[in-house]
Amino acid sequence: MKIKTKKTIKKVRMSLKHSAVTAIMAAFGFLIALSWRDVLTEWITKFSEASPFQNKFIIASIITVISIIGIFIVSKWNEKSNQED
């Protein structure tokens, strides 16, 4: 019984640690995204002379593509690290 309880506590601690690390990484990712948002917006605005709606559409499209690529890369990296464990 005592061993089972220790294993359960260890699993809960590891789960909490994993959740905390994930939340912290997400927060840093959000900060990075916010910092690049203005840069990308200004850059696209500078090179695009389309109407404001089209300009926002282009910005949203580019950010979406970059985000999807980032998610794909991080997912592959996570799969590799899980296979090594």
Q: How many domains does the chain have?
A: 1
The alpha carbon torsion through 26, 30, 31, 36 (nearest 10 deg) reads: 140
Average pLDDT over the chain reads 79
Kindly report the pTM of this predicted structure: 0.51
**Statement: residue 10 has pLDDT above 80:** yes
**Statement: residue 85 has pLDDT above 60:** no
Task: Provide the pLDDT for residue 54.
Answer: 67
Q: Rounded to an integer, what distance in angstroms lies between the CA atom of residue 17 and that of residue 68?
A: 26
Q: Rounded to an integer, what distance in angstroms lies between the CA atom of residue 39 and that of residue 72?
A: 23
**Statement: residue 49 has pLDDT above 70:** no
Helix residue ranges per DSSP H, the chain: 2-47, 52-84
**Statement: residue 26 has pLDDT above 80:** yes
Q: Print the domain residue range for 59.
A: 2-84
